[in-house]
Structures are given as C-alpha cells and as structure tokens.
Structure 1
Amino acid sequence: MAARMTRFAQTDSIETAQEPTPSEAPLKGLRVALFSGNYNYVRDGANQALNRLVGYLQRQGAQVHVYAPKVKKPAFPSKGKLVGLPSLPLPGRAEYRIPLTLGGKTRADLKAFKPNVVHVSSPDPAAHRAVSWARARGLPVLASVHTRFDTYPRYYNMAWLEPILTALLRRFYRRCDALVAPSESMAQVLREERMSYDISLWSRGVDRTIFNPGRRDLEWRRSLGIADDEVVIGFLGRLVMEKGLDVFSDTIDELVRRGTREGTRHRVMVVGEGPARAWFEARLPGAVFTGFQGGKDLGRAVAAMDVLFNPSVTETFGNVTLEAMACAVPVVAAAATGSQSLVSDGVSGRLIAPGALHQFAEALRNYVEDADLRARHGAAGERRSLDFSWDAINQAVADTYLRLIRQKDALKRR
C-alpha cells in the first residue's frame, strides 16, 4: 500500500503522501463521492455492503460523501456524510425511491468536497448525471453491480422489457471506467453482455461473531412452535417477488406431494419482511414467519435452520447464502450468479437449474431425510465461509479506486 500511495501522490489529484508509518492512515487524501439509490432507508444486502465499505475507507483515512435519497425514518444509521438527492417513490414499490438529479445542494457539496473518484452503485437518473459530471472533469468513475436489474421485469409479467433494460444498462456501464462485481459468475455475465472491459471483484464478507453454528438455539425454535425433530427449511431475505417466492412455494407444494420417509418431518421458516408477505403467508399455510431479524437475532434465526432454500436468480452474490454457510447450514440454491461462486454442488449444498421445481423438491427431500448429509454439507459450507474477510474484500475496492486515479492521471500527462 505504501508504494502504491507514493506513486499515486505525485499529482494534484490527491494530497502528497510520504512513506506511511504504521500510525498513519494509508488512504489519507482519497476522497470518494458515492452515489446510491438506497443507502440506508430500506435495509438490504447492497446497502449493508456499501456502508461497510464506507466505514472501512474512513478507518483507513479516506473521506467519503454519500449522495442518496434521505427519509425521515431511515432503517439504520449510515456511515459517511450523507447528502440528500431529490427523489420520487418508485411506482408500485413506494418503499424505494428513484434519485432524479443532482440538484443545487449536491453540486455545491461536490464542488467544495473535490472528490478524486466517483462511485455509482445503481443505474438511476442521478447516477447518470453523476457520471456526466465526473467525465466533464476528467475524474474516474467506478460502478458497482449489486443486483440483476434486467431480470426484474419477468416477475411482474413484463419480460419483454429485459432486452431493453440490458441495452440501457450497457450504455450506462460503458460510460464508467470500470466495474466491480460481487462474484466471478456475475463478472462473467457482465463480460458476456459486453457491459465493460474492466471488471474486477468486490466480493462480500460475513460477520462470524453473528453468523456461526453456536448461535443455534433450540429453545428459541420451540418458542416458535417448531419441534426438535422437525427439519427446518428456511427462507431468508426481503419478501418481494423477485426473490423467487413463487418458485419457493411451488417447490414446497411439490415436496409435500412427494412426502418424506416415515419418521421425518419438515417445517418452513421464513425470515424477513416485505410487501409480498401476505401473498407468501397465504401460499405457505403452516409456515413460521419470524418477521425482520437483525444483528445477533438474525444469526440465531439462520442457525435455527437445517437447510436454506434460495431459489432467487436476481442476486449478484447471495449474502444470505454465505450467512447460512457460516452457520453450517447446507444450501439448496438456483444455479445462477452469486450462489454458483459460493456453493459447491454436492459438497456444501445443491445447485439446481433455475425454476426446476422437481429437482429442488428432490434436493430438499434428501436433506430432510438424511441428518448425516446435512451435517457433512453444512460443515463444508462453514469451512468455505472462512475465506470471506470484510477488510480484505473492501481493500480490493480501495485498490481499484487508486488504480483508476493513477490511470486518469497518466492520461492527463500525455
């Protein structure tokens, strides 16, 4: 890091940095303007990752201003200086907001802040304008990809929109200098769709103090009416249709029709909250709905599962998959971006073709009937989860910022 900063500090775009001592901040002089469509007003995996990144950058001495919609009652406290963006509720999903433009307050803050790199995390109208603002000033732009936006229309009977969205995303991302994706499988999709020629990894970490097998609490399970001999098939995530709620419930129906070996029983437990909860509850009579769980309570809920079923194809990484693995819970997941980079099929879980109800049901039945299989695959998943350290992962983003700044400075000197 010392050598990187010494070379980098030879231009006016960052404060001069001498060879740092252990007591100095290694990212001093780095000023990041981060644009987000949802930074803290609805809790999800993407904004949790962004807040962790900002917290890490600040601990290393960087300054970060975050430009995102503000609400009166945010879901959680945010990291960095938060500057509000003009926004409107998303039609049909009013809990989310669309940032519309930069606005005078934002432009004044940007002028005073003088960022040396711009980071956009969602392809909304304000992010488009932020990219134009940065390009006009010769500043590097990094885009992070957090979800498969182009797949969302299929869950709302508008699949015809997907190629149009893909084309719009390509235009947006190719105006950026580089992309970071949370998994190699997602990076490969982006390469195949020609979104960028500079794509690196910004993976995700897991907090082992929260997610570990020791969080399993049989008394808590019993308080929910779950018997000790019932195998819990868990769902974890926001209750919205794009998380594959229809595939989940149809698969459970198929599992019930097939039945399991005599002496084995299963129960569905749903952890999370969202606008589709009433629909999901109607489709899963007898399931336990815990509502939102956070912090240590979330770790307890995940560890209470015996197998996680994640049929979603919209994730670019799959935070819930990694959290279950850290709790030694085997995972049955769609063979899609995100989970493919985490789950080893037949070793730590099962990867099934998206939407393949019969195969999903068969994989779940095997886990319900075989405790040894659950224990073996759960242990393998926990070992794999140890590879994901938040600090090392977030340093990879900082390294990408520094590389892009050096590249821009080199072009200016030509």
Structure 2
Amino acid sequence: MTNTDNINADGLRVALFSGNYNYVMDGPVRALNKLVAHLEKRGASVLVFAPTVDEPAFAHSGELVSIPSLALPGSRSEYRLGFGLVGEAKRRLNAFAPNLVHIAAPDITGFQALKYAEATGATPVASFHTRFDTYPRYYGAKWLEKHLTNYMRNVYGRCVHVYAPSQSMREELLRDGIGKDIRIWTRGVESDLFSPGQRDLEWRRRNGVEDDDILIAFVGRVVLEKGIDVFAEAITLASRSNPKIRALVVGEGPERARFEANLPTGVFTGYQQGADLARAYASADIFFNPSITETFGNVTLEAMASGLPTIAAAASGSLSLVEDNVTGKLSPPEKGAAGYAALLVDLAADAQQRAHMSAHARKKSLEFSWDSVLDDLIANYRSAMATHQR
C-alpha cells in the first residue's frame, strides 16, 4: 500500500464514465461511489456520466450527468444501455475539461470517452469490473464471446492504465491481452459493519432456521451469470447427504422465481443493505460463491469480514481472496455442482474446521481498508498522467 500521509488529489479533474452509477446497487457501483467521495475529500474535481432512472436505488456520491439510455430488452431490463455523449452530456464534458478520463465500462459511452481523451490530450485510464465477454454463454450466444473479447482488447489496450481488482484478474487480463500496463485497484470493506458480532440466532429462528441447521449463504444479484443454477444444484446434492444444510439467498434479480423453484427449502430475504445485510451474512455458517465472472468478489470480502468460511470457484477474483484450506475451500469450476457439494458436506460436518477458517477469514479481511485502497488509486492516477505527458 502507498504511504498516504501526504496523498492529495488537488489539480485532478476526473471524468468518470459508467454504465450504472446509482440505479442498481452492486459491487462495482459501490466501489465507484466510494471512489468519487474519496476523490472529492482529497481535493479533486469529479464529474460522473452514466444512465439514470427516475427512482434511483440509493443516494449517489458526487455530481452525476445523465446519459440518454434505453432499458435492455428481455430479462435484464433493470440495466440500461447508454447512447453516448450527445447533447447536454457532451456540452457538460467539454465545459468540465477533464485532465483524466476514467472508463468503468467499455460500452458506447465508454468508447466515446476514450476517443474524447485521445482528441483532447486527457489521460485515459480504465477500471475492469466484469468479464462482460463471458456473459453470452449464459444466454445462448457463446459465439459472441470472441468478438467481445477482441473489442475489449481494443478499448483497454488504448488506455494508459487498466486497474484490475485482484492479482488473479490481472494475470487473467495479461494472459488474454486485455490491457498493457495493468495495475491493482483492490477493494475495501467496512469491517466495523460486517463482523461476526452481527450474528443473530433470533433472526435465524424467525426465518424458520433451526439452531443446528447449516446455513449456506448466497449474496448478490439473482442473475444467471452469478452461477445460481450451480449453487442450487450443489445445495440440493449436499442436502441429500446432510438434511441440515439449508440455503440463504440475499438479493433480488430477474431469476429469483427460477432460483426459488430450485431451492424450495431455501430462505429468501430479498435485497438487504447496511445493518440488515451485515446481520444476514453473520447469521449464516458458510458463504458459497460459484461465480466465474467475478473480477474481485466484494460479497466474498464482506462474508470474510463477517467471519464466514467461503467455498468458491477456483477462478478470477476468488483466487486472490480465498486461501484454500485456510480461509475457505476452492473447487475447480469444471468439477461443477458435485465438486462444490462435496466441499459443502465436508465443511458442514466439521465445526472445528469452520471455526478455524472463520478466524482466518476475519483476520484476512482486516487488510482491506478503503482509505488506503483509494489513496493507492490516486497515486496511480498521478503516475498515469506523468506517463501520458512524456
């Protein structure tokens, strides 16, 4: 971590471009809002450009310029596709005259922001939040993946820096030729909020959970690319060996009805935030994240801070957070639901092992402070600008 004693962002004029900033709460959006608030605290000027809706999900940080947009068709209509820098958005950008352009999504607006930076001399950087190019496989369009990957190589390859959220994701991007100078912008966690002390047996009982049930938590958007089908199948297989294994699902999304149908004995809380979310984490016994599209895994870090051992895919972001057989267990994704089920059964039967992993998970999570993480990014901004001006 950078020595943050003298970190300031004076003179930085940052234009941030995102496909979502306040209309759906998820891990990347939480990180971007944390970033904007921190930049302003450190003295930077920031202007955010993103699609908006009439009723946002939460009160966002900073000043937000609305990008004209349209809801995506089909089951993902909660997300929006921006039409780019037109009209008022373009005028606001020109008037703001940023010296650094931060692209958080390689969509139409992000690509136009890159071209703006190249035309004006502003320093273009990008943060990598999601393997968008893997999404088509979950919606019957796997043929599209290679074309999206090539497009991402073009966009990220033209940025001075690309910020990956974990070392494992950095290595994956380098392997796939997505970006050149790839640096780490990890994530922080509010360890005072997310902690083992939030565990609430009465809350479990009100939700029909017995004290000796082993509650396996899923937290996040209920969408196919989060691995919900694998989660449900693994829980079903594991519960055949140990009927005390139950699922806890915290979150909302277009596939909730499908998820509930596949987990008839599961506890579904819907979307939770703040203290309610912290209580839900800590009241579980094991966190299970089978997603292979995570670039970091904010929910995994929050679960670790809550003292949960994690079972996760040995892929992308989880590899940088979960230490196998220390803070949790990793399973190669190719082993599928059966591989996860075996680990769930093993960990559910061993309270001592769970306690050992819980302590180590909590200790590991305390290494992730938002202030130091975001000051590191400011230092990288300065480095990118110095490189770009040579």
Q: Distance in 1 between matches of 2:78 and 2:182?
A: 31
Counterpart for residue 131 of structure 2? 148
Q: Distance in 1 between matches of 2:145 and 2:229?
A: 19
Preserved contact between residue 126 and residue 156 of structure 2 (Cα < 8 Å): yes
Give, as a single letter, the amino acid of the residue that structure 1 aligns with 2:304. M
SS at match of 2:311: strand
Q: Distance in 1 between matches of 2:184 and 2:253?
A: 29
Aligned residues: 388
Q: Is 1:317–2:296 an aligned residue pair? A: yes
Counterpart for residue 393 of structure 1? 373
Q: Distance in 1 between matches of 2:383 and 2:213?
A: 52
Deviation at 1:256, TM superposition (A): 2.8
1:286 to 265, 270, 274: 265
Deviation at 1:91, TM superposition (A): 2.1
Counterpart for residue 379 of structure 1? 359
Deviation at 1:396, TM superposition (A): 1.6
Give, as a single letter, the amino acid of the residue that structure 1 aligns with 2:212. D
Counterpart for residue 66 of structure 1? 48
Deviation at 1:355, TM superposition (A): 4.6
Q: How does 1:43-54 map to 2 (within 5 A)?
A: 43-54=25-36
Q: What 5-or-longer segments of structure 1 have no aligned partner?
A: 5-20
Q: Is 1:212–2:195 an aligned residue pair? A: yes
Preserved contact between residue 173 and residue 179 of structure 1 (Cα < 8 Å): yes
SS at match of 1:110: helix
Q: Distance in 1 between matches of 2:134 and 2:388?
A: 33
Counterpart for residue 161 of structure 1? 144
Counterpart for residue 241 of structure 1? 224
Counterpart for residue 342 of structure 1? 321
Q: Is 1:120–2:103 an aligned residue pair? A: yes
Instruction: After superposition, give the CA deviation of every residue in 1:7-51 in whole Å (9 maximum; x if it has no partner).
Output: xxxxxxxxxxxxxx98xx821221100001000101110100000
Q: Is 1:197–2:180 an aligned residue pair? A: yes
Change (3 A) 1:355 1:246: farther
Deviation at 1:177, TM superposition (A): 1.5
Counterpart for residue 280 of structure 2? 301
Q: Distance in 2 between matches of 1:133 and 1:266?
A: 53
SS at match of 1:95: coil
Quote the RMSD (CA, aligned, Å). Answer: 1.8
Q: Is 1:76–2:58 an aligned residue pair? A: yes
1:34 to 10, 16, 19: 16
Give, as a single letter, the amino acid of the residue that structure 2 aligns with 1:358. A
Deviation at 1:129, TM superposition (A): 0.6
Name the stretch that deviates more: 246-255 or 177-186: 246-255
Counterpart for residue 338 of structure 2? 358
Preserved contact between residue 205 and residue 390 of structure 1 (Cα < 8 Å): yes
Q: Is 1:367–2:350 an aligned residue pair? A: no
Give, as a single letter, the amino acid of the residue that structure 2 aligns with 1:371. A
Deviation at 1:253, TM superposition (A): 2.0
Name the stretch that deviates more: 349-358 or 386-395: 349-358
Deviation at 1:408, TM superposition (A): 2.4
Q: Is 1:176–2:159 an aligned residue pair? A: yes
Q: TM-score, normalised by structure 2?
A: 0.96
2:305 to 301, 321, 326: 326
Q: Distance in 1 between matches of 2:350 and 2:97?
A: 59
Q: Distance in 1 between matches of 2:70 and 2:277?
A: 31
Instruction: After superposition, give the CA deviation of every residue in 1:259-304 in whole Å (9 maximum; x if it has no partner).
Output: 13xxx72211111111100000000011110111100110000001
Counterpart for residue 406 of structure 1? 386
SS at match of 1:74: coil
Give, as a single letter, the amino acid of the residue that structure 2 aligns with 1:365. V
Give, as a single letter, the amino acid of the residue that structure 2 aligns with 1:243. K
Q: Distance in 1 between matches of 2:34 and 2:387?
A: 26
Q: Distance in 1 between matches of 2:167 and 2:68?
A: 34
Q: How does 1:219-230 map to 2 (within 5 A)?
A: 219-230=202-213
Q: What 5-or-longer segments of structure 2 have no aligned partner?
A: none
Deviation at 1:79, TM superposition (A): 0.9
**Structure 1 consecutive aligned stretches of length 4 or more whose deviation exceeds 6 Å:** none
Preserved contact between residue 19 and residue 82 of structure 2 (Cα < 8 Å): yes
Preserved contact between residue 311 and residue 355 of structure 1 (Cα < 8 Å): no
Give, as a single letter, the amino acid of the residue that structure 2 aligns with 1:277. R
Preserved contact between residue 99 and residue 121 of structure 2 (Cα < 8 Å): no
SS at match of 2:79: strand
